[in-house]
Each structure stands twice: as structure tokens, then as C-alpha cells.
């Protein structure tokens, strides 16, 4: 009969037996040390469709390595493996289209090579690097590969002893529905977009002449969109520009420099697709033109750095195909908000971190509530200090009249007609520090949040994590669907996005050094 | 009226068989191996003292490591309750073994120690030292006494032919050989492809071992047929044809639409739960067989069809086979289902229940288990472990019905799952159950439906169950909550 246990026993003993001899132990240890793995999600149309394990097995020659790709479905079941040999690869993204997996890597002949001062010049002279894309069909065959040369100068290590390689703008990979794949990358000389069809054939390659601090790639229907954030020294939150290209031939469409009808700059928080139409949507904050040196702080919000929110639907490339939706609070037309954006019902300002479009056409803005509080005690103490210790009042004024406490997640809803309402507040624990005016939000916010969708029920959820709980909030029903106490799990617990309509629970067992994964319904 | 007589007779037989099935009790808590075989553990340890077979110290040391490793492993299985003693099933297996021993006194001078493994896979194994383990899955799967006898004879043959001992000897010899040391050191000296080289070293040995093992399997088949013949058991090579599909339990389709199995309990069923809504890779037509299949050289057993061809000539002419008694099958399948449930393998457990229902079994114990499955699923959902409890299997290993069932368990909304659990815990079949099953109900309520969702209440309910039913096999389950 099938002698499984004996088989396992013997295998175990073979390994155990071998490890008993010191020299052999060294072999196993060294071989294991050469193996490195990374785990990536496979994404299509911004949805998770599977997982991929990428393992560098060993160095195969002076300039090549053996690799293994393990492909898993969305339930973490193995569906196959692919082995191949290549130069040093750094996997940066995986996407899927028309039953083909596209993997994008940064390929170099110098990354992670041991640094020797004498030989470094030679390494620099012979440096080669490229954007390497690999196209794998669902029968485990590498159908095509592509190399696009990049200009990267090897970097001597600042710590450790391995040579580094970094791009000016990291590789971004997206699938183009019904077409293939798009890749953006920026090296020391140029920024470019490369488009491929689903068989891996390069459709076109285009250099992006614009200089920008950041780029964001998004594909929608038959377009490839590149959101550029240009440097604007007078206002670091503005300077956005949208460039779009025809996915099939790369021909450019007129650029869009988002501004509202009054000419105010827009801060773009989200570039995504409408879940119903698949068309491009931009959303974010309308920037108040008055200059404010306190951006990113409680005082800045108190000062009124934003005058409202917006969403822009880009259905085509003519002016009539762009629908805008602006909602202002600085004109005092909305009783739910003060002139400076104070949400009356929540008793807080909104530090909007993210926005998304729902199935009903509403645009939601998720924000950390910033609660101002007059420093009564501080002021009295300040007066007393002045009286007794002669500390100048300027010091006290410098500290500000208010403290700002970050607490709760607020949801604002902008409906398709342009009505902005305060939808609800999801309770989270208060920030530990009652920060003074000049301290940035990021230092005292205690929660973070992201959006998940159940396409079947057309319901959106906001996953809010604070030090005590993970709350899964049903946006449409305006209620918490599930609260998971994180303290029970001793800080080793994470709730991550998973396949559509599900989230992944990851729990690390420190004692056993294992991670338990479970995919649970929203 | 006379034409109705056979009908009534069949009906009466069916009812009596069903009643018998209901009466047959399962093992007790104290029958779990860590209790029941506590004494045998010590005697087994003494009996398995490592003999001196090598002159070289290093090889003997290695041999002892392997030898003691086997002892530790079996002791570990006993301690972990991998085995269970069940009087009826145990007696039945012992009867078959005794007949084999009686017919082969020269080859089998001492009856072997046989243990019943709780594993659901269709398997049995010998590890030398006159020890034999039979999986519950095999007992439930065998149709005839002769099929079971052949499996046992095959495993006994491994022991008679000292296959385990030979394999351990060869492994120790190889691991302490200069050739092995040199090849491993060569890996250390190599700059590139260390893993490939190391794998080659291992594969050379594994290939040689599996090739020998395949010869061993053929030898064991041949000797098993002789043991069978000497003991007057009929042999049919068609057993191998059936064995070929033994791991296809979950590829077997159901006889009725999935919905029908639940609407009998008046549970509101939504067909959309069984329809996969994911756009993930599991729904795509993938086929990585070329890059992912196990190489033939690494298979430990010859193909069943090859074994059929080889043993065809030894078939007993005009054989008569004795069916495994219904009570044995019933006990084995109930133990199997309970054990699967206990290890929170809910989809497989539920699917087996539905397959048994397809056979016309109306024993309320299976209704009790349907209720327990949904209680476990709801509890797993509370504990963020529903996915693990379901154990989602890829579509290529299961039937369309199994796929539908696991999709349903996955996609069923939490509210419906709660409503089903509530409804099932209030069904009439609970009244017809024996006392221990009935007394589990408060514990099941505390596990999944108690609005307080309190560990304290669960512990109390488990303690109460223990106090009243200290011998019940369900104590193993209650013990988890009592802790």
C-alpha cells in the first residue's frame, strides 16, 4: 500500500542524517542562505486574482541565477510552478490579462554584487540594466520576454557590502482591459511608457518629456493615463497634470491640468476607475488660493487650506466628455460645514486621506477627524509663567491657542448632483499626543484605513485599523459590520485586501514562527 | 396481499439494519491511543531495541538514529491520538489477521500488533518490527473481507520481507559512505548551482530508493497472494482497478441537487451561494501539468493497472467474497466523519455525510452531524477562520457537487449561516438521539449561538458535558473548550 509515512520518515532522516556531519550542515546552511523569496499579489483591473511566490534559488553562473515562480489562485491553492534562469532580477509587479501573466522586473548585472573598491569602476563601466517583462501563459510556458534598456549608475553601498541599483521613478505595471499591459519607468535619463499586447509583443514605447516629482499609472478602457505631480514650490500640494495615450498606438490626447472653474488648484487623492462604467475618475481636495505656511498641520486646517472637494469623470478626450463635480464649503452655502471646513456634527476638521467612487456614483472621502481644543490650561499656565518667571508671551503665542487631537475616521459623501454631506464618524481611539500647532498630522494619527469592495452586493467597506481594533465599516449601510480586537492577537494581526468581496486575516505566531492566513467574507 | 410480503420483508430488514446501525456504539474517550496504548508504548520501545548490524561506528550510529526515529515517530502518533481502539472494528480486523497468521505459521510465527489509524485516506502501512497500522479510510472503503485481507497481507509481506529494515540499512550505509560525503563536500566547494547539485545528490539516492521500493511493492504483492491462498482467502486482481480510484472520494457526484439535502430541514436555500462569483485564477482553465507533475522516477508505487496486469494470473477461479458487515462500515464511516469534524475539515466531512445519505441511510446521527458542521462553520466564522475550516480545494480534485458545496459554505452570508445553525439546533431529530449526543447540544449552543459569545460559558458547558459523559468519544471535542 501507499507508504506515505515511511516515505516522509525516510526523507526526514535523510536530511537529519546529513545534517549530523558538520561539513554537510554547512552545505545545507549555505545553500539555504542563497535562497530568497518574495510574495506578490496578482492584480487585474485593480482586483486581486491570485498570488505569486518568486524565489531566487541559487546563483547559476557568474552573472545568472536560477529562479522559481509559484503561482497560486485567489484561495492560495497552488496551481503551478515555472523555473527559469536569468540575470539578477528584482520583481516589482504582476498583472493578468487574457489568461496571460505579465511580470515586470528590474534586471541588472550589478545589483547585490559584492562591493570592492578597486573593481567598482569596472562595474560602473560595464553596468547593464533593463526593464524586463515576462509573459507566462496558464499552461506554465514563458510565451515571451522583453528587455528595454535603462540607464542606472551602480551605487556604492552606504552600509553593508552589496552594490545597489535604484530607479528615479520605480516600475509601475498595469493591465489594459482587452488589450494587454502597460509599464511605466523612469531612469537617470528619461521616463517612458511601454505597452504590450497580451502575447507579449511590444505595441509601442513613448518617452515622457515632462519633468515631475511623481508619476502614477492608471489604465482605463482603451486608455493609458499618467498622472504627473510636478514640483510647485509655492504650494507643494498642487501641480498635477494628467497625460493620456491611446492604448493601441500610443497617440497622445490633450493633457488635462486639473483646476476648478474658479482657477483653484486641485489636490488629487485618487486616480481610479468608476466601478460601473470603468471610466477614469479623479477626486480630491480643492485648494484654497490663500497662502498658508501650515499645510499638513491642525493649524493649517483651522486656517482653511481647502475650500471643498471635487470629482472629475473623464469619459473621453474632448471638453464635453469631462464631467466635473465641485462642492465648496468656503462660500458658506453648506450648513454642515464652517467656512474653513469644520464639520459641525463631528466637531472636527477633516484631514482627508483617501477617496473612492461607489457603485451609485457617489464619491466618498475618508478623513481623520482633527479635533481642535482651546488651550485654556496652557494659557493660564503661560500667564502665570510670565508673571513669575518672566517667560515672554511670544513663546506662549508660538505654541498656539489650540491643541489638535486626531480621533475617529470621518466619511464625507459627494453625490452625483454635487451635494456634500457628512455621512458618519467611525470611532477610533484618540491620538496619544495632544499635538501643538506645528506638528504634522502623521505624527499623532493612530489609525489607518483603506477601502474594500464586494462587487456582488455592490457594497463598499472601509477597513479602519487603530491600536485596539480593526473595524470593517459598511459605507452604504452606515454601520460597523465587524470589529476585530487586535489586542487579543498581540500586535501580530493584520487585515489585508484579498479576492473580491473578501479580506485576508494574517496572524503571526511568534512562538511557532508561523503565519496563519485566512480569507474571510466581507 | 401476498405480493406485498417481499416488500414488507425488505422494509423490516431495512428498519432493523438502520436500528442496528443506530445502536452500534462508537469508541470511548478512553479508547484514544494515548490512553489505550499507554502500556504498549513501553513494551514496544523495549521490543524495538536497535540491533548491531554495522561494524563501522558511523554507519551503526546512523542506523540507530533511523531505527530510534521510527520508534519516536510511532510513539508520537500514539501520544497524539492518531490511533484509536474500537472493539468491533478492531475485532473484525483481528479476525482477518488471525486467519492470515493461522494459514502462514512459518512466515508469521507471532501475530502482529495492529493499530487503527484515524486517517481518512485509503491506506495501511507497515513499519517493520511486526507492527501494522490500518487507516479508518481503508476500512470504510473495502467492500469485501478479501479486499481488506489482501491489503493486510501486502503490509504483512513488507514486514516478513524486512523491507523497512533493509531500507533503513541502505539509508544508513549511504549516509555514512565516502561517496555521499564526497558528493556533499563537492556541493560545498562549488561556486555555482549549489542547490541543483545538492538536489542531484539527493535525487540519485531517492531514485535508487524509490526504484527499489517499487520492486519491494511487487514482491509484497506476490507474497500477499501466497499468504491469501494459504489462508483460504479468494484473490481478485480487480481490487487494483478499484484501488486506482480510491482517492476519488470527493470526485464522486451526489445523487440529488445540493439544494435537496438542505431543504429537507426546511432551511432557506439560495442557489446563488453555489455559483462562484470570483474572477480569480481558480476559475480559469489552467494546466501546469507539464511543469508541475511528479516525475515517474520519484513514484514509490507501481501503477495500479500495472499491478493488476502482473497479478491477473493468480486470480482465484470462481471466487466467493464476503461483504464487510454493514455495522463495521457504519461504525468506520461514523468514526471517520467524527474525526474529520474534530479536525475541523468541514466540507469533506459534510460531503461524506451527503454521500452516505445518498445510500439511503436515515440514521439521525448524520442529521446531528449536519447540524454540527454548521455550528463549527459559524464558530470558525466568529474566530475569523471560516476559510480554513472549509479547506477550499482546487476544482480539478473534486466533483462539481463538491465544488458547489464548498462555494456555498464560502459564500453563504453570515446571517444565513446563523439562521441555519439556529434552525438545525432546534430540529426534531435531536429528540431521537442517544444521551451523549443530546447532552452535547448546550455545548454547541455555547460555541456558536450564545449571544454572550463567552469562553467562560463554553468552558462551563464543556465541564458539564464531561461530568455527565466522562466516557463519551465526544469528550475529546469538549476537552478543547474545557481547556
Report whether pLDDT(A164) > 90.
no
| Residues of chain B contacting A21 with CB distance shorter than 8 Å | 181, 184
**Is A469 contained in some domain?**
no
Tell me the range of A484-493, B17-26, B135-144 where mean pLDDT is highest.
Answer: B135-144
**Is A480 contained in some domain?**
no
* Lowest pLDDT segment from A282-291, B9-18, B148-157, B284-293: B9-18
What is the C-alpha end-to-end distance of chain A, expressed in Å?
44
For residue B139, give the C-alpha cell. 476500512
Report whether pLDDT(B8) > 50.
no
| Residues of chain A contacting B285 with CB distance shorter than 8 Å | 99, 138
| Contact between A362 and A454 (Cβ < 8 Å) | no
Q: Which pTM does this prediction carry? A: 0.82
* pLDDT on residue A439: 57
Chain A, nearest residue to B385 by Cα = A518
Helix (H) or strand (E) holding A284: strand A280-287
DSSP state of A486: S
In this complex, which of A27, A34, A73 lies closest to B281 when CB atoms are compared?
A73
| Residues of chain B contacting A37 with CB distance shorter than 8 Å | none
Tell me the range of A225-229, A447-451, B276-280 where mean pLDDT is highest.
Answer: A225-229
| Contact between A272 and A354 (Cβ < 8 Å) | no
**A26·B291 Cβ contact <8 A:** no
* Contacts of B123 by beta carbon, 8 Å cutoff, 6+ apart: A1, A2, A4, B117, B135, B137, B138
Tell the residue number behind the cell numbers 466564522, with chain if given: B381
For residue B1, give the C-alpha cell. 396481499
- Which of A378, A502, A457, A369 has its CA nearest to residue B272? A457
pLDDT per residue as tens digits for the range B191-227: 888 888 888 887 776 656 655 666 678 889 899 999 9
Chain B, nearest residue to A68 by Cα = B291
Stretch 413-472 of chain A: residues touching chain B, C-beta under 8 Å: 455-456
Helix B364-382 to helix B435-444 angle (10° resolution) is 20
Report whether pLDDT(A22) > 50.
no
| Residues of chain B contacting A500 with CB distance shorter than 8 Å | 277-280
**Is A121 contained in some domain?**
yes
In DSSP terms, A142 is beta-bridged to: A136
Report whether pLDDT(A16) > 50.
no
Looking at the complex, report in whole angstroms how far the Cα of residue B61 sits from the nearest Cα belonging to chain A.
10
* pLDDT on residue B234: 93
Instruction: Give A9's pLDDT tier (boundaries 50, 70, 90).
Output: very low
In this complex, which of A12, A31, A78 lies closest to B194 when CB atoms are compared?
A31
* Contacts of A156 by beta carbon, 8 Å cutoff, 6+ apart: A115, A120, A163
**B198·A28 Cβ contact <8 A:** yes
CA B420, CA B398: separation in Å to the nearest integer?
25
Residue A115 sits in which domain range? 36-209
* pLDDT on residue A452: 87
Q: In this complex, is the C-beta atom of A82 within 8 Å of any C-beta atom belonging to chain B? A: yes
Mean pLDDT, to the nearest integer, of B174-180?
86
- Which of B124, B93, B130, B102 has its CA nearest to residue B232? B102
Interface-testing mutation among B83, B171, B280, B381, with chain A (most A C-beta atoms within 10 A):
B280
- Which of B295, B465, B300 has its CA nearest to residue A2? B300
In this complex, which of A7, A74, A99 lies closest to B282 when CB atoms are compared?
A74
Report whether pLDDT(A248) > 60.
yes
In this complex, which of B125, B180, B282 lies closest to A75 when CB atoms are compared?
B282
Instruction: Give B313's pLDDT tier (boundaries 50, 70, 90).
Output: confident
Report whether pLDDT(A433) > 60.
no
- Which of B135, B146, B166 has its CA nearest to residue B66? B166
CA A267, CA B262: separation in Å to the nearest integer?
54
| Residues of chain A contacting B205 with CB distance shorter than 8 Å | 14
For residue A390, give the C-alpha cell. 518672566
In DSSP terms, A281 is beta-bridged to: A272, A313
**Is A175 contained in some domain?**
yes
Q: In this complex, is the C-beta atom of A83 within 8 Å of any C-beta atom belonging to chain B? A: yes
Mean pLDDT, to the nearest integer, of A449-467?
86
* pLDDT on residue A490: 61
Mean pLDDT, to the nearest integer, of B341-367?
94
pLDDT per residue as tens digits for the range A228-243: 998 876 777 888 999 9
Q: Which residue has the higher pLDDT, A423 or A35?
A: A423
Residue A488 DSSP SS3: helix
* pLDDT on residue A17: 31
For residue B184, give the C-alpha cell. 556533499
* Tally of structural domains, chain A: 1
* pLDDT on residue A391: 64
* pLDDT on residue B20: 41
| Contact between A106 and B292 (Cβ < 8 Å) | no
Phi, psi angle pair for B34, to nearest 5°: -70, -25
| Residues of chain A contacting B155 with CB distance shorter than 8 Å | 1
CA A210, CA A116: separation in Å to the nearest integer?
37
pLDDT per residue as tens digits for the range A285-344: 999 887 767 767 777 788 888 999 999 999 998 889 999 999 999 999 999 999 999 999
Report whether pLDDT(B5) > 80.
no
Instruction: Give B83's pLDDT tier (boundaries 50, 70, 90).
Output: very high
For residue A384, give the C-alpha cell. 502665570
Mean pLDDT, to the nearest integer, of A103-112?
90
Q: Cα-Cα-Cα-Cα dihedral of A323, A329, A330, A335, to 10°?
A: 140
| Residues of chain A contacting B184 with CB distance shorter than 8 Å | 18, 21, 23-24, 27
Q: Which residue has the higher pLDDT, B292 or A166?
A: A166
**A14·B413 Cβ contact <8 A:** no
DSSP state of A254: P
**A62·B167 Cβ contact <8 A:** no
CA A199, CA A141: separation in Å to the nearest integer?
12
**B285·A12 Cβ contact <8 A:** no
Interface-testing mutation among A6, A22, A492, A498, with chain B (most B C-beta atoms within 10 A):
A6
Q: In this complex, is the C-beta atom of A8 within 8 Å of any C-beta atom belonging to chain B? A: no
Tell me the range of A219-233, A435-449, B105-119 where mean pLDDT is highest.
Answer: B105-119
pLDDT per residue as tens digits for the range B90-99: 999 999 999 9
Report whether pLDDT(B21) > 60.
no
Mean pLDDT, to the nearest integer, of A196-209?
94
Report whether pLDDT(B18) > 50.
no
CA A67, CA A56: separation in Å to the nearest integer?
5
For residue A97, give the C-alpha cell. 490579462
| Residues of chain A contacting B273 with CB distance shorter than 8 Å | none
Q: What is the largest CA-CA distance in chain A?
A: 94
**A27·B384 Cβ contact <8 A:** no
Taking all residues of chain B, what is their mean pLDDT, rounded to a whole number? Answer: 87
**B185·A23 Cβ contact <8 A:** yes
* pLDDT on residue A10: 26
Mean pLDDT, to the nearest integer, of B404-425?
94
In this complex, which of A4, A74, A138 lies closest to B280 when CB atoms are compared?
A74
Residue B431 DSSP SS3: helix
Instruction: Give A395's pLDDT tier (boundaries 50, 70, 90).
Output: low
Q: In this complex, is the C-beta atom of A260 within 8 Å of any C-beta atom belonging to chain B? A: no
Instruction: Give B188's pLDDT tier (boundaries 50, 70, 90).
Output: confident
Mean pLDDT, to the nearest integer, of A490-518?
81
Interface-testing mutation among B121, B152, B194, with chain A (most A C-beta atoms within 10 A):
B194
Helix (H) or strand (E) holding A356: strand A349-357
Chain B, nearest residue to A7 by Cα = B300
Phi, psi angle pair for A217, to nearest 5°: -95, 135
**B286·A518 Cβ contact <8 A:** no
| Residues of chain A contacting B393 with CB distance shorter than 8 Å | 77
* pLDDT on residue A200: 95
| Residues of chain A contacting B287 with CB distance shorter than 8 Å | 138-140
Q: In what order do the strands lie in the sheet with A240-246?
A: A214-220, A223-229, A240-246
Helix (H) or strand (E) holding A422: strand A420-426
**B300·A2 Cβ contact <8 A:** yes
**A10·B280 Cβ contact <8 A:** no
Stretch 140-199 of chain A: residues touching chain B, C-beta under 8 Å: 140-141
- Which of B119, B76, B122 has its CA nearest to residue B340? B119
Report whether pLDDT(A223) > 50.
yes
For residue A449, give the C-alpha cell. 484605513
Number of Cβ within 10 Å of residue B214's Cβ equals 17
**pLDDT exceeding 70 applies to what percent of chain A?**
84
| Contact between B341 and B372 (Cβ < 8 Å) | yes
* pLDDT on residue B143: 93
* pLDDT on residue A204: 95
Report whether pLDDT(A353) > 80.
yes
Report whether pLDDT(A176) > 50.
yes
**Is A152 contained in some domain?**
yes
Q: Based on the number of CB atoms within 10 Å of its own CB, is B418 exposed (0-12), middle (13-18) or buried (19 or more)? A: middle
* Contacts of A38 by beta carbon, 8 Å cutoff, 6+ apart: A53, A54, A55, A91
**pLDDT exceeding 90 applies to what percent of chain A?**
43
DSSP state of B86: -
Instruction: Give B26's pLDDT tier (boundaries 50, 70, 90).
Output: confident
Residue B320 DSSP SS3: coil
Residue A438 DSSP SS3: coil
Mean pLDDT, to the nearest integer, of A211-238?
87
* Contacts of A158 by beta carbon, 8 Å cutoff, 6+ apart: none
Chain B, nearest residue to A456 by Cα = B277
* pLDDT on residue A335: 93
| Contact between A362 and A413 (Cβ < 8 Å) | yes
Instruction: Give A12's pLDDT tier (boundaries 50, 70, 90).
Output: very low
**Is A433 contained in some domain?**
no
- Which of A54, A17, A34, A11 has its CA nearest to residue B195? A34
Q: In this complex, is the C-beta atom of A36 within 8 Å of any C-beta atom belonging to chain B? A: no
**A21·B181 Cβ contact <8 A:** yes
Report whether pLDDT(A5) > 50.
no
**B193·A60 Cβ contact <8 A:** yes
**B282·A10 Cβ contact <8 A:** no
**Is A214 contained in some domain?**
no
| Residues of chain B contacting A16 with CB distance shorter than 8 Å | 65, 69
Instruction: Give A486's pLDDT tier (boundaries 50, 70, 90).
Output: confident
Helix, strand, coil fractions of chain B, as percent rounded to 5: 70, 5, 30
* Lowest pLDDT segment from A19-23, A50-54, A220-224, A382-386: A19-23
Amino acid at each position: 500500500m501507499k507508504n506515505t509515512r515511511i516515505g516522509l520518515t525516510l526523507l526526514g532522516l535523510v536530511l537529519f542524517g546529513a545534517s549530523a556531519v558538520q561539513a554537510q550542515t554547512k552545505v545545507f546552511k549555505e545553500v539555504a542562505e542563497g535562497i530568497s523569496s518574495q510574495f506578490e499579489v496578482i492584480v487585474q483591473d485593480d482586483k486581486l486574482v491570485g498570488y505569486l511566490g518568486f524565489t531566487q534559488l541559487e546563483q547559476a553562473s557568474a552573472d545568472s541565477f536560477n529562479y522559481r515562480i509559484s503561482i497560486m489562485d485567489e484561495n492560495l491553492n497552488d496551481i503551478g510552478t515555472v523555473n527559469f534562469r536569468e540575470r539578477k532580477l528584482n520583481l516589482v509587479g504582476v498583472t493578468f490579462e487574457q489568461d496571460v501573466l505579465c511580470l515586470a522586473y528590474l534586471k541588472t548585472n550589478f545589483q547585490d554584487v559584492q562591493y570592492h573598491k578597486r573593481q567598482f569602476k569596472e562595474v560602473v563601466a560595464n553596468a547593464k540594466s533593463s526593464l524586463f517583462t515576462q509573459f507566462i501563459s496558464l499552461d506554465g510556458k514563458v510565451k515571451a520576454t522583453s528587455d528595454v534598456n535603462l540607464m542606472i549608475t551602480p551605487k556604492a553601498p552606504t552600509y553593508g557590502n552589496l552594490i545597489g541599483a535604484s530607479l528615479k521613478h520605480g516600475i509601475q505595471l498595469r493591465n489594459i482591459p482587452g488589450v494587454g499591459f502597460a509599464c511605466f519607468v523612469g531612469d537617470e535619463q528619461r521616463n517612458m511608457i511601454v505597452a504590450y499586447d497580451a502575447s507579449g509583443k511590444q505595441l509601442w514605447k513613448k518617452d515622457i518629456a515632462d519633468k515631475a516629482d511623481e508619476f502614477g499609472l492608471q489604465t482605463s478602457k482603451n486608455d493609458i493615463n499618467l498622472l504627473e505631480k510636478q514640483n510647485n514650490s509655492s504650494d507643494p500640494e498642487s501641480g498635477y497634470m494628467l497625460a493620456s495615450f491611446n492604448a493601441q498606438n500610443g497617440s497622445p490626447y490633450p493633457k488635462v491640468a486639473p483646476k476648478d472653474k474658479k482657477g483653484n488648484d486641485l489636490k488629487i487623492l485618487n486616480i481610479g476607475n468608476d466601478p460601473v462604467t470603468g471610466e477614469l475618475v479623479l477626486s480630491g481636495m480643492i485648494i484654497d488660493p490663500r497662502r498658508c505656511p501650515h499645510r499638513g498641520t491642525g493649524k493649517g486646517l483651522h486656517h482653511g487650506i481647502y475650500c471643498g472637494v471635487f470629482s472629475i469623470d473623464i469619459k473621453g478626450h474632448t471638453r464635453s466628455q469631462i464631467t466635473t463635480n465641485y462642492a465648496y464649503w468656503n462660500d458658506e452655502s453648506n450648513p454642515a460645514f464652517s467656512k474653513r471646513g469644520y464639520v459641525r456634527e463631528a466637531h472636527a476638521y477633516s484631514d482627508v486621506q483617501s477617496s473612492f467612487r461607489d457603485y451609485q456614483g457617489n464619491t466618498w472621502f475618508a478623513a481623520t477627524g482633527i479635533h481642535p481644543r482651546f488651550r485654556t490650561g496652557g494659557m493660564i499656565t503661560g500667564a502665570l509663567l510670565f508673571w513669575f518667571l518672566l517667560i515672554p508671551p511670544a513663546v506662549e503665542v508660538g505654541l498656539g491657542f489650540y491643541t489638535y487631537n486626531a480621533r475617529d475616521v470621518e466619511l464625507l459623501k459627494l453625490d452625483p448632483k454635487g451635494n456634500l454631506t457628512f455621512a458618519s464618524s467611525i470611532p477610533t481611539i484618540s491620538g496619544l499626543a495632544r499635538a501643538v500647532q506645528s506638528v504634522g498630522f502623521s505624527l499623532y494619527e493612530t489609525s489607518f484605513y483603506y477601502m474594500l469592495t464586494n462587487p456582488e452586493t455592490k457594497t463598499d467597506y472601509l477597513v479602519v485599523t487603530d491600536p485596539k481594533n480593526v473595524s470593517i465599516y459598511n459605507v452604504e449601510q452606515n454601520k460597523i459590520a465587524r470589529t476585530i480586537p487586535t489586542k487579543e492577537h498581540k500586535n501580530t494581526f493584520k487585515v489585508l485586501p484579498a479576492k473580491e468581496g473578501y479580506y485576508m486575516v494574517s496572524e503571526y505566531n511568534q512562538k511557532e514562527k508561523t503565519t496563519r492566513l485566512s480569507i474571510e467574507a466581507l | 396481499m401476498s405480493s406485498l410480503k417481499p416488500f414488507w420483508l425488505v422494509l423490516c430488514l431495512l428498519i432493523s439494519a438502520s436500528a442496528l446501525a443506530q445502536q452500534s456504539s462508537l469508541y470511548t474517550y478512553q479508547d484514544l491511543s494515548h490512553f489505550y496504548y499507554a502500556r504498549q508504548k513501553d513494551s514496544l520501545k523495549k521490543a524495538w531495541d536497535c540491533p548491531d548490524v554495522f561494524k563501522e561506528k558511523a554507519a551503526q550510529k546512523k542506523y540507530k538514529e533511523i531505527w530510534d526515529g521510527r520508534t519516536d515517530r510511532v510513539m508520537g502518533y500514539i501520544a497524539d491520538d492518531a490511533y484509536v481502539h474500537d472493539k468491533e472494528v478492531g475485532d473484525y480486523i483481528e479476525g482477518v489477521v488471525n486467519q492470515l497468521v493461522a494459514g502462514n505459521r512459518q512466515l508469521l510465527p507471532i501475530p502482529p500488533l495492529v493499530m487503527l489509524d484515524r486517517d481518512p485516506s485509503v491506506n495501511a502501512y507497515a513499519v517493520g518490527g511486526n507492527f501494522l497500522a490500518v487507516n479508518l479510510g481503508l476500512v470504510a472503503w473495502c467492500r469485501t473481507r478479501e479486499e481488506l485481507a489482501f491489503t493486510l497481507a501486502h503490509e504483512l509481506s513488507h514486514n516478513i520481507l524486512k523491507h523497512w529494515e533493509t531500507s533503513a540499512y541502505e539509508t544508513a550505509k549511504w549516509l555514512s559512505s565516502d561517496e555521499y560525503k564526497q558528493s556533499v563536500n563537492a556541493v560545498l566547494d562549488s561556486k555555482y548551482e549549489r542547490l541543483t547539485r545538492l538536489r542531484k545528490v539527493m535525487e540519485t539516492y531517492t531514485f535508487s530508493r524509490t526504484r527499489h521500493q517499487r520492486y519491494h511493492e511487487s514482491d509484497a504483492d506476490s507474497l500477499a497472494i501466497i499468504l491469501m491462498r494459504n489462508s483460504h482467502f479468494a484473490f481478485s486482481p480487480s481490487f487494483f482497478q478499484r484501488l486506482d480510484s480510491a482517492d476519488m472520494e470527493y470526485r464522486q457526484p451526489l445523487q440529488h441537487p445540493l439544494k435537496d439535502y438542505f431543504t429537507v430541514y426546511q432551511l432557506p436555500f439560495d442557489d446563488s451561494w453555489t455559483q462562484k462569483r470570483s474572477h480569480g485564477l481558480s476559475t480559469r482553465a489552467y494546466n501546469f501539468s507539464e511543469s508541475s507533475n511528479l516525475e515517474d522516477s520519484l513514484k514509490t508505487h507501481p501503477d495500479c493497472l500495472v499491478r493488476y496486469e502482473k497479478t491477473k494470473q493468480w486470480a482465484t477461479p470462481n471466487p466467493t467474497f464476503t461483504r464487510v458487515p454493514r455495522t463495521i462500515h457504519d461504525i468506520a464511516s461514523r468514526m471517520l466523519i467524527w474525526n474529520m469534524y474534530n479536525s475541523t475539515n468541514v466540507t469533506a466531512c459534510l460531503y461524506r455525510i451527503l454521500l452516505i445519505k445518498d445510500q439511503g441511510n436515515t440514521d439521525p446521527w448524520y442529521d446531528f452531524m449536519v447540524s454540527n458542521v454548521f455550528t463549527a462553520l459559524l464558530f470558525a466564522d466568529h474566530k475569523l477562520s471560516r476559510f480554513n475550516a472549509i479547506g477550499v480545494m482546487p476544482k480539478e480534485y473534486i466533483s462539481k457537487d463538491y465544488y458547489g458545496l464548498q462555494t456555498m459554505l464560502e459564500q453563504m452570508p453570515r446571517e444565513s449561516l446563523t439562521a441555519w445553525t439556529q434552525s438545525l439546533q432546534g430540529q426534531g431529530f435531536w429528540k431521537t438521539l442517544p444521551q451523549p449526543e443530546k447532552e452535547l447540544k448546550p455545548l454547541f449552543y455555547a460555541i456558536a449561538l450564545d449571544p454572550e459569545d463567552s469562553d467562560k460559558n463554553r468552558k462551563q458547558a464543556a465541564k458539564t458535558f464531561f461530568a455527565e459523559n466522562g466516557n463519551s468519544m465526544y469528550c475529546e471535542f469538549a476537552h478543547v473548550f474545557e481547556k
